[in-house]
Chain A
């Protein structure tokens, strides 16, 4: 490995950050899936608490300031309830077979 290789790696990392920056957007809707089936569509403009049936029991979701967080679920490591409020990317609660993704309009449920 020489210094040109290091430069190449740094350039690629910059590109990655750039793409991540470009693809960031504020979404208006969250789609909650249980076993890959859409069970709940959440409007992020309304602050409210929701609960859905997960594999291990009730999963509680809270919406605040256009962002969403899983506040309560039953699992071993509580990975998805440790995530902070978000309106981007995807939230996965594997033990509960729940996934949440975000979209910008009501019809576009698969996008993102």
Chain B
């Protein structure tokens, strides 16, 4: 039990650090909503190695911690992150459980559901349906970042199993 708590705490801190590192890469801060999603590597790892429940815990805590550290708690971007993170964890779990997709596919579906969640929150906040124009570019970038994150997670899982 204690070992598991320590593991979750460590993974949580890794995901927070990855999210912070990512915000220093200027390339992914140019377009609002587009990001690499490095923290998702941790979530994919947790879904495969631990459980769905732990993945939910880690993503909610990560969003809260990032909220405190960077964006401010209960700001608009906090809700954007929260909805996106929860939606992507739930989708990734369902895809992993009920489909034949590999780690890369799971990660792509996580990235896509994150984007769709952001679009839905943006529509609700701004009450403007035109934001859907933004969805194609988010979907394309989700595919690319999903593949990158998926491949890294795949290597990580293989490496972790071998030690």
Contact = CB atoms under 8 A, between A and B. Distances in A.
A112 B129 CA distance: 10
Describe A's contact surface by its main secondary structure: helix
A9 B143 contact: yes
Contacts of A111: 128, 130
Interface in B90-139: 99-102, 104-105, 108-109, 112, 128, 130, 132-133, 135-136, 139
A19 B104 CA distance: 24
B101 A8 contact: yes
Given A8-B108, A9-B143, A12-B112, A112 B101 contact: no
Contacts of A5: 101-102, 104-105, 108
A100 to B, nearest CB: 15
A31 B102 CA distance: 46
Interface residues of B, number: 22
A8 B132 contact: no
A22 B101 CA distance: 29
Interface residues of A, number: 15
A107 interface: no
A20 B135 CA distance: 9
A112 B130 contact: yes
The 3 closest A-B pairs by CB, nearest first: A5-B105, A1-B104, A16-B136
